Chain A
């Protein structure tokens, strides 16, 4: 049984469709990440689920009951949901009053209210700020007030819109910990929008990829990351190597794809003659100086064409008859003395290659 269901949902702003025919079911206790680039419509979808906005077409179901487009019932349901907006907006009141207001609006008894507010302020580390006007807080502190203000309500559903978009790495880690704590400890259903795929991968049970107002793919984390449904999703989830080719053989589920005259082996059931894309994550490619003995089916001699250092990792572009990007640790890049013009062997497994159908319109 699903807690929240979105059925045939379409939404337009000024006659422009920003969400198109979305269908989505979210189970109780599930952590669902909505990933997609800026402008994809993530915020709009969250606003509609929070019943802040009425969709142009389609319906939202809560506990399998259709939510009316207007009326008092919307408030009742909204009170079971908490939505933490992307830009935290604190009220021009004390920190304590900011956190207490949701409970007051629900007519919580005063003695219980005080206990809950104090407890949550401690949890987010703001117990010393009770009487400060919330407008005088820093960005990170305001974010924590916004979080406390929602969590104190012990919502059944928590909606998070890019919860760590403007935070430093330490604060980001704290918030991520808090999110997974809430999901585990309170069995809260969480829907979070993020443009950070790794965050989705880390925290979510399932992922929905929203591109240009359309839910292109919904699946568990591995499905989306290792078997993207089309080139756009593949691109978005960090499949940097997307190479065109044709299937030339298929033996017991191991297909051979001809890429620019080179044969790549991959796990795929596509028949001979199919035009496809072969997708390889850069971190799944290993580089070595000599042809190593390994069970990996794909090994190519290549020349390094570019090396970029990204903190602890190095991004290495190579040419092995076709262009590939590999991601190796900086230490191994140094050990292998990877420089432009260097000869290397690139190796990757047949399971590391995701083959997808080349769409007609691409």
Chain B
């Protein structure tokens, strides 16, 4: 149990002393997961609205599939990205394997079903009466969708927070497609995995606490958005 206490003090030490390596790793985590979360939001919010506002055959099935993919294991996504981007793979010509961009792609694939599914359920929470009222007041389909997104902003921001949370906390995919290269693709989670395997428990715990700290900052920022 002392490890946890030591880890806590160490975390405080590392944060206060602005340890360059820790700052660098934390910054990279934030950049990679932030980018993947942003890009996934840009896809999921419009796509979620599109799915929600259109009636088509197989809509129920599609939503079921999306919800099932919430549980996709991170290593499976890692494997998929590895196959796609390996030199011989169909996207191998990008030559980005074991580089940060491919980690962004991996995380986007990982969190897109979650954000998409939660966006759709957020929009479903807005009553048909609101949609009808907007339509009656002369909103176009696009304008109605935008209004409904704003009406559902609490739940929509929650969907984005969930996406970010899953991205920054995953280790399997980052490890497989990033390779945990020091100073280049090492992120907080892969660093924790490495330090624990080396027996450096304090450092691992300290990094874990720093990760939660990052999540706290992001939540505070997004909550500001919710209030508007």
List residues of A whose CB falls within 8 A of some B CB: 47, 50, 52, 75, 78-79, 81-83, 85, 87, 89, 91-93, 101-102, 105-106, 149-150, 153
Contact = CB atoms under 8 A, between A and B. Distances in A.
Nearest to A149: B137
B136 A91 contact: no
A101 B135 contact: no
Interface string B22-53: 00000000000000000000000000000000
B36 to A, nearest CB: 30
The 3 closest A-B CB pairs, nearest first, are A79-B138, A102-B137, A83-B136
Interface in B142-192: 143, 147, 150-151
B19 interface: no
A93 to B, nearest CB: 7
Interface in B96-135: 127, 129-130, 132-135
A70 to B, nearest CB: 12
A105 B133 contact: no
A52 B147 contact: no
A204 to B, nearest CB: 22
Contact of A85 (B133, B143, B151): B133
A75 B136 contact: no
Given A52-B136, A85-B136, A91 B151 contact: yes
A93 B150 CA distance: 9
20 contacts: A52-B136, A75-B138, A78-B135, A79-B138, A85-B129, A85-B133, A87-B129, A89-B127, A89-B133, A91-B134, A91-B147, A91-B150, A92-B150, A101-B139, A102-B137, A102-B139, A105-B140, A106-B138, A149-B137, A153-B138
B136 A82 contact: yes
A83 B150 CA distance: 22
A48 to B, nearest CB: 12
A78 B150 contact: no
B137 A150 contact: yes
Given A101-B139, A102-B139, 10 more contacts: A78-B136, A79-B138, A82-B136, A83-B136, A87-B129, A91-B130, A92-B150, A101-B147, A105-B137, A105-B143
Nearest to B129: A89
Interface residues of B, number: 16
A79 B127 CA distance: 22
Contacts of B133: 85, 89, 91
Contacts of B129: 85, 87, 89
B185 to A, nearest CB: 42
A92 B125 CA distance: 13
A11 B129 CA distance: 20
Contacts of B127: 89
Nearest to B141: A75
B136 A50 contact: yes
Contacts of B134: 91, 101
Interface of B: 127, 129-130, 132-140, 143, 147, 150-151
Contacts of A93: 150
A50 B139 CA distance: 13
Contacts of A91: 130, 133-134, 147, 150-151
A166 to B, nearest CB: 15
Contacts of B150: 91-93
A84 B132 CA distance: 11
Contacts of B130: 89, 91
Nearest to A81: B136
A135 to B, nearest CB: 10
Contacts of A81: 136
B138 A78 contact: yes
Given A89-B129, A91-B130, A52 B135 contact: yes
Contact of B132 (A79, A85, A92, A102): A85
Contacts of A85: 129, 132-133, 136
Nearest to B143: A105
A87 B138 CA distance: 18
A75 B137 contact: no
User: B136, B140, B143, B147: which has the most chain A beta carbons within 10 Å?
Assistant: B136
A78 B140 CA distance: 10
A210 B7 CA distance: 76
A75 B144 CA distance: 12
Contacts of A83: 136
Contacts of A89: 127, 129-130, 132-133
User: B129, B133, B147, B150: which has the most chain A beta carbons within 10 Å?
Assistant: B133
Nearest to A150: B137
Nearest to B152: A92
Nearest to A92: B151
A47 B128 CA distance: 13
Contacts of B137: 82, 101-102, 105, 149-150, 153
A102 B147 contact: no
A77 B3 CA distance: 70
A83 B135 CA distance: 10
A150 B135 CA distance: 12
A102 B135 contact: no
A92 B138 CA distance: 18
A79 B139 CA distance: 8
Contacts of B136: 50, 52, 78, 81-83, 85
